Amino acid sequence: MRGSTFGSLKVRNYRLFTIGQLIKLMGTWMLFTAQDWLVLQLSDDSASALGVVTALQFAPVLLLTLYGGQLADRFDKRRLLLFANAASAVVATLLGVLVVTGVVTLWWVFITAGLFGAISAIETPVRQSFVSELVGKDLLPNALSLSSATFNTARIVGPAIAGVVIAALHDRTGPIFLLTAVLCTAPLISLVRMTAAELFRVERDAIAASQARTIDGLRYVRERPDLSLTILLVFLVSLFGFNFQLTLAVLAKVEFHVDAKYFGLLSTAIALGALAGALASSRRRSRPSVYRVLTAAILFAGFESLVGVAPTFAVAVGLLVPTGFFMIYFAQAANQRVQLGVDAAFRGRVMALYVLVFLGSTPVGSLIIGWCAERFGPRSGLWTGGLISLVAAVLLGIMQLRRTGGRIHVALRPRLHVHVHERSSGVPAVRPAVR
């Protein structure tokens, strides 16, 4: 179990990377929790204001992520990550000083959210593609899953700590931002300590690498239906279904009338499920099928819709666990399907497109979902996003079946087996949709 689930941690460079990321991401999620609470304090509990700050935080993804992928294919990824993490520490320090000194306004929060978004737009595709340089190809699915588990471990610990600290400090958020600035230095130490000679880098022509263009990456994806369908599904589900930073804050404070400590509990519940989903993905050794990705998306959307109609706070917490499980199981399966199907020379630009649709759809989605929550009630943001995501996954599944001439066969045995039969060169092929 240990060898298969945590095998990538035996690689020193990956182990250093994971430790640095875990520490930094705990601080980042503490900052996000404190930022959401600060926005509600400054805006008199406005869901629209929270939607604006979320949009500003992710809007730079629309403008800069593809450029970040181009940088990843041109330059040393480790050096780019050093610059990005140092910049995150500076911005967190700025926000912390503004809050502690009492001069912060809603506009300052908007500005720092935009700065964080710009840094993330460059850093995320670089970090995503850098994982493939830390381990060999046989360990890459495991490394991707463990990176996701690291992210969600931080998501469990960070909001929980932030909620307790904010409550203990009588709703003061300044110390959270300053602590985040300190934690952002952990990746700098890890990156410096790595052994460059042990990185798994593909030798490429220096001139070709320097001329890597974004448009070539887009054309590459367009010519690969297996990549384009997955990326389209990620775009639609992220646009409407992945707005928990907004919906959970509003659900906690406006619908259930709980304080910061219990708001952190909602985030912790979804992160617990997400961590389990990431670990469940870590044993995978091959590229997941498109039907595994679609099935996970449908299950995620269904549970999110149920959270939107949960009658009590306790029921909402309980439903968020399977919601988090299938959310990250879907996201991880999609990520692995893309990363394991792309040529190394295009990995940075393709992952930039993936990140663009995964995070860049959030600005538009948060404005739509924020408007729904304010116009039709805080619950509507959840069940609307869930239902739209469900319809999108089903329709894309039908499109895939029609494109490949496939059909679904369900067999009731001691266990439920679902198989998808597709025509390939005139010969029927059987692929298990759920294993």
- Ordered by start, the domain boundaries in the chain are 2-404, 405-435
Convert the pLDDT of each residue in 214-266 to its tens digit.
Answer: 777 778 888 888 888 888 998 888 888 877 766 777 777 777 777 666 776 78
Q: Which of 309, 165, 173, 301 is nearest to 251 (CA)?
A: 309
Give the per-residue pLDDT at 77: 87
pLDDT band at 269 (very low <50, low <70, confident <90, very high): confident
CA distance 296 to 12: 32
Domain at 2-404: CATH architecture: Up-down Bundle (1.20)
H helical segments located in 6-105: 12-42, 47-74, 77-100
Burial 108-136 (b: 16+ CB within 10 A, else e): bbbbbbbbbbbbbbbbbbbbbbbbbbbbe
Chain segment 33-72, per-residue pLDDT in tens: 888 888 888 887 777 787 788 778 777 877 788 888 888 8
* Euclidean distance between CA atoms 33 and 248, whole angstroms: 11
Show Cβ contacts of residue 205 under 8 Å, excluding neighbours closer than 6 positions: none
The helix/strand/coil state of 96 is: helix
Report which of residues 72 and 373 the model is more confident about: 72
Identify the pLDDT of residue 20: 92
Measured CA to CA, the distance from residue 213 to residue 346 in angstroms comes to 10
When pLDDT is cut at 50, 70 and 90, the band that residue 414 belongs to is: low
Q: How confident is the model at residue 421 (pLDDT cuts 50, 70, 90)?
A: low
Count of alpha carbons within 13 Å of 290, Cβ hemisphere only?
24
User: Which residues, 6 or more positions from 51, have their beta carbon under 8 angstroms from its beta carbon?
Assistant: 246, 366, 367, 369, 370, 371, 373
Q: How far is CA 406 from CA 19, 68, 211, 227, 432, in A?
A: 44, 38, 41, 18, 12
Rounded to whole angstroms, the Cα distance separating 337 from 231 reads: 10
CB 261 within 8 A of CB 164: yes
Residue 227 to residue 296: CA distance in whole angstroms: 17
Whose tokens are 């990005």? That residue is: 84
What is the structure's pLDDT at 69? Answer: 80
Q: Collapse the DSSP code of 416 into the 3-class scheme (helix H, G, I; strand E, B; otherwise coil) and give the result.
A: strand
Q: How far apart are CA 17 and CA 144, in angstroms?
A: 12
Task: Name the DSSP letter for residue 430.
Answer: E
Q: Is the pLDDT of residue 189 over 90?
A: yes
**Residue 277, CB-side half-sphere exposure with 13 Å CA sphere:** 28
How far is the first Cα of the chain from the last one, in angstroms, to the nearest whole number?
Answer: 18
- Grade residue 182 by pLDDT with cuts at 50, 70 and 90: very high
Q: Helices (H), strands (E): how many in the chain? A: 18, 3
With b for 16 or more beta-carbon neighbours within 10 A and e for fewer, the 357-375 pattern comes to bbbbbbbebbbbbbebbbe
pLDDT reading at 371 higher than 80 = no
How far lies 273's CA from each of 303, 325, 374, in Å?
Answer: 12, 4, 28
Alpha-helical (H) ranges within 171-289 are: 174-183, 186-193, 206-210, 214-222, 225-241, 244-250, 260-281
The CA distance from 68 to 66, in Å, is: 5
Least confident segment among 28-42, 107-121, 172-186, 247-261: 247-261
Quick one: residue 407, left, alpha or beta (phi over 0 = left, psi -120 to 50 = alpha)? beta
Q: Say which residue, 192 or 58, is predicted with more confidence.
A: 192
Token code pair at residue 328: 């990250």
**CB under 8 Å to 262, separation ≥6 — which residues?**
163, 252, 256, 313
Per residue in 275-288, pLDDT (tens digit) is 788 778 777 677 88
pLDDT at 301 over 80: yes
Among the listed ranges 149-153, 231-235, 347-351, which one has the minimum average pLDDT value?
A: 149-153
Q: What share of the chain is helix, strand, coil (3-state, %, to 5)?
A: 80, 5, 15
**Amino acid residing at 37:** W
- Residue 185 tokens, joined: 């230095």
Share of the chain above pLDDT 90, in %: 15
